[in-house]
Structure 1
Amino acid sequence: MKDLKYFWHRAAWLKHLLIGAGVVLLYGWALQGLKIDLELLKTSVPYVADFVSRMFPPDWSVLDLAGKALVETVQMSLWGTTIGAILSVPIAVLSARNLAPRWLRLLANLLQNLVRSVPSIVLGLLFVAATGLGAPAGTLALSIYTIGYLAKFYQAAIESVDGRSLEALEVSGASWLQVAQYGILPQILPLSLGYTFYMFEYNIRAASVLGVVGAGGIGFELISYIRGFEYPKATTMMLVLLVVVTAIDALSSHLRRRLEADNGNFD
């Protein structure tokens, strides 16, 4: 056994070579499954160029409608992210290996996996059937969609907490609630808020996709113009969405850096 360990220690290059070969084989297998037709790609370039050319110049006559639809999209994302974040907290706590028993963790993680396995479009269709076309369906779909990811992010943050600080609180006689308040929350707050800001930013884009199934927002107007072959108006919608997503990305990045610098303590 010692000789075998010594051999692998001396032949580290061989281990790296085997790993590299495995990675190459994995990507080769995946590429083969794609069945890419290079000749078809060459002949499709003119069609792509023609489609793009019909989208310009943008039709600014729908700018007012784009602004109103965008406001609805932001409102959907704000409420969807907030509801999803609130519901994610107990699921994350029950999923964390340093807080919950094994059987409870299995159930909570199964719930997370179940939510993440349902595409956002399917959630949109489900709530459109329940509440009808419009923003309420999109908000509910985003709420459930958010749970699947924020619960996992929050769980990872909780599991990264320094266990020694929790043990010190427990030894001093702190209750479970006090351990959570003084030992866990200060450590996970900056990271968790950063995740939440990122999810809000992502939900702006997800809300636009949900418009395809009639869940309100700018996506609903966008897909309506595309289906009606009014590509210049669709371009205006996409440009307005691009500006807002870029602005929100810059703002959320600034807030995340601020949280990390302040370690969760606001001025």
Structure 2
Amino acid sequence: MIKTFKTLKFKHPLFFKSVKQLLILLAVIAVYTWALQGLQIDLKLLKDSWPYIVDFITRLWPPDLSILDIAIVRLIETIQMSIWGTTIGAILSLPLAVLSARNLAPRWLQLCANFLQNLVRSVPSIVLGLLFVAATGLGAPAGTLALGIYTIGYLAKFYQEAIESVDRRSIESLQVCGASWLQIAQYGILPQVLPLGLGYTLYMFEYNIRAASVLGVVGAGGIGFELVNYIKGFEYNKATTMMLVLLVVVTAIDALSSKLRQNLEANNRSLDKN
């Protein structure tokens, strides 16, 4: 009887589930341990670096508000770059997402489109900025083009996921009725994808505000260009003003984007109920 009990115990589904969870936990611990060893963190060096970190932070205060007008002008330029960069990226991402979707495109076309997505995502925004600075010169046009290409790599993937998550029954119903590929996309997919796609686009616009400031490092315009110049010139108080202005605007855009996304989700839920 004891032997039978032990046999049943080891064959119980809960036992196998516990073993599986334990193996996953050990695998996660092993991966993080391996990653930590690769970092080669020197705790003594970190401890000795604190005085330098504190010294740098204290030099940032108080902010120099005499350049507030310059900061606002550069911030407006950054927003303009983000608007156009996000729009260009969104327009070019849509056909790429359609060609990548499993429920719309043939397998060979999916592979080509997905490879193109991965290729764009593998190029850092700084490299794109350098490329377009070399092509168009210093300033906002280079940053706008860099943001547009950078946006394609991510929005195309987001749009693809949204397209692949649509209700298959609506597509099958249209196919049974003899609808064309374009009609299926227009009436079966677009109404379901539009709210989610707009939410992704708003998120990407918010992200591009920050990315545009980073592109200033390579001279691609925006508030980042002035920020880097002030830091290089050891004018840390002026750099603080630039960062504070950017913080206020990013926070405001984040709140506005979150509100718009909530409204889109609420409208989408109401349409589903109807």
Which band: TM-score by shorter chain? over 0.9
- Cα distance between partner residues in 2 of 1:91 and 1:176: 16
Per-residue displacement from partner, 1:22-45 (whole Å, max 9, x unpaired)? 111110000000000000000000
Q: What is aligned with 1:7? A: 11
Amino acid at match of 2:86: T
Q: CA RMSD in A?
A: 1.6
Amino acid at match of 1:233: K
Q: Is the 8 A contact 1:74 1:204 kept in 2?
A: yes
- For 1:206, the equivalent position in structure 2 comes to 211
CA shift digits 1:88-128 (9 cap, x unpaired): 00000000000000000000000000000000000000000
Q: Which runs of 5+ in 1 are unaligned?
A: none
Query: TM-score, structure 2 length as denominator?
Result: 0.93
Query: Structure 2 matches for 1:1-267, cutoff 5 A?
Result: 7=11, 9-11=13-15, 12-263=17-268
**Contact (CA 8 Å) 1:124, 1:213: kept in 2 or not?**
yes
Equivalent-residue separation in structure 2 for 1:245 and 1:183 (angstroms): 36
How far 1:16 sits from its partner (Å)?
A: 0.9
Structure 1 position 176, deviation (Å): 1.5
Give aligned-pair identity as a percent: 76
| 1: CA distance, partners of 2:270 / 2:128 | 37
| Residue type at the aligned position of 2:49 | S
Query: Please, which runs of 5 or more residues in structure 2 have no aligned partner?
Result: 1-6
1:10 is displaced (CA, Å) by 4.0
Q: How many residues align?
A: 263
Of structures 1 and 2, the larger Rg is shown by 2
- TM-score between both structures, scaled by the size of structure 1: 0.96
| Contact 1:84 1:146 (C-alpha < 8 Å) held by counterparts | yes
- Which whole-Å deviations, capped at 9, do the CAs of 1:224-258 have from their partners, x for residues lacking one? 00000000000000000000000000000000000
CA 1:264–1:140: 2 relative to 1, 3 Å: farther
The one-letter amino acid of 2:127's match is V
